Structure 1
């Protein structure tokens, strides 16, 4: 049975990573044994996004699933960068702290953008790359995130109001009409405080297109799988098609899903992921 959000977070560990001279706590799940796989979520989610994949992949691999800094149970205090460049630095710090060496990388949304940077800038560091409705090129930021990132959003929005906004966002963009309440509540939970509101605003304001436009996906040498929700209004399929053309060893698989593919199509997403990683 899939864990609740409280059960998920109770099993997390923490490590200290350094980003731009800031020492930051990073929460993560660490399960299984074997060659390491790092999963990374996007905005405005957390590591619980991959609740349906952790155990299946951990049957044959060591699986590391962190909350990005500024998200989930990782550091949320104000005063540090949360951009894709900074998240890449944080993940590298965690990989070094855990002595993982070469990894496979599974990234969704912003986490996919981090994985793309990681694999393009240091090709020997990633052997297999999975991108799920990932930001790339200048496909982002989107208006919804731009609006959240405005400074007045922090000054004018209560935790309760942000919870209502996020509830509507997830319910409107999950595929189909029946949504798992554990998932919706788990996505909203980290933001339910004044600190959470500020942190999400800072996360949203840090969505810098330059951090994906400055890299060339053609530099990726890892075997790459694109698991893409074909009904996504945030990161449409055309960006996946462009990635498939630019990355030498790359396969695109379209799944009937919206943006939250690991949740919308848990079984098929997990099956294809396991086949690719194992």
Structure 2
């Protein structure tokens, strides 16, 4: 089943292919960045709403979803952020509203600090930050990467499902999203790719940009699930306190996967950013 709006294309970014789900014909550009172990389909119910008032570009970071990651291509946060800047150049986008979840939230912070002239608005949704990650669940997976990369792909996908299910507050919404998240890991290269991502995780990147967050002069929305037992709510509160003028939205009936649990709240926050960035 294809996405509910728009099209997905492989974009050649300096010889590297990046899968981009684009939707919307007019308005400011919005870049949506997922985390681990998801893909652009995290934004399944967010994109159609935002695309009514903006041009939306939801990416699969290299090594996730439909974006390949050759062995010589690094997949750490700083490298992913640098590739996204190259993607903006390729797409002809000067400044974008960038919104990230989980690892994508860390990448959004990196972009806002290191390429502030390209970021018109910043959104962080239960994003990795400071020294608060890898979160406990992912830390356990990282410790087990030598075993994970040897698992058959179907076994890996089945093993991931129960733990990921606990990151949804709205259990009736979990299964369709889990199917979308896990499908790429069922491919033969899935276990090796996931192990590679796990090995690359390091909070040094968000710790490096953290001292510069109070200097940001960009409209910022922080959205956090109060029931997130992995990337704890205190990090969302700290981000909102550190970034001048940031607006914090608590989502009482959401856990870590807020874009799946409450896409309406996330879409509203993104559209607020679009409006604020246009002023």
TM-score (norm 2): 0.91
Q: What does residue 271 of structure 1 align with?
A: 268
Residues 177 and 36 (structure 1), Cα distance of their counterparts in 2 relative to 1, 3 Å cut:
closer
TM superposition shift of 1:158 = 1.5
Q: Does 1:17 align with 2:9?
A: no
C-alpha contact 1:121 1:219 (8 A) present in aligned 2: no
Q: d(CA) in 2 for partners of 1:86 and 1:163?
A: 26
RMSD: 1.9
Match of 1:152 in 2: 146
Structure 2 alignment gaps of length 5 or more: none
TM-score (normalizing by structure 1): 0.91
Q: In the superposition, relative to structure 1, how do residues 39 and 155 fare at CA in structure 2: closer, same or farther (>3 Å)?
A: closer
1:30 matched to 2:30: no
Aligned to 2:180: 186
Contact 1:171 1:179 in 2 (8 A): no
Indicate conservation of the 8 Å contact 1:26/1:74, yes or no.
Answer: yes
Question: Which of these residues, 225, 230, 233, is aligned with residue 237 of structure 1?
Answer: 233
In 2, Cα distance between equivalents of 1:58 and 1:196: 31
Query: Following TM superposition, by how much is the alpha carbon of 1:58 offset from its aligned partner in structure 2, in angstroms?
Result: 1.1
Structure 1 residue 106 corresponds to structure 2 residue 99 = yes
Output aligned runs, 1:243-262, within 5 Å: 243-256=239-252, 257-262=254-259
CA contact (8 A) 1:76 1:195 kept: no
Q: Following TM superposition, by how much is the alpha carbon of 1:7 offset from its aligned partner in structure 2, in angstroms?
A: 4.2
Corresponding residue for residue 79 of structure 2: 86
Q: Give the superposition deviation at 1:74.
A: 0.3
CA deviations 1:220-266 (Å, max 9, x no partner) are: 22110101111111111111111111111201110021000011112
Q: State the SS of the aligned residue for 1:12.
A: strand
Per-residue CA distance 1:121-153 (angstroms, 9 max, x = gap): 122221211100001111111232233334413
**Contact persistence 1:78–1:199 (CA under 8 A):** no
Matches within 5 A, 1:37-186: 37-149=30-142, 150-186=144-180
Q: Does structure 2 retain, via aligned residues, the 8 Å contact 1:77–1:199? A: no
User: 2:197 maps to which residue?
Assistant: 203
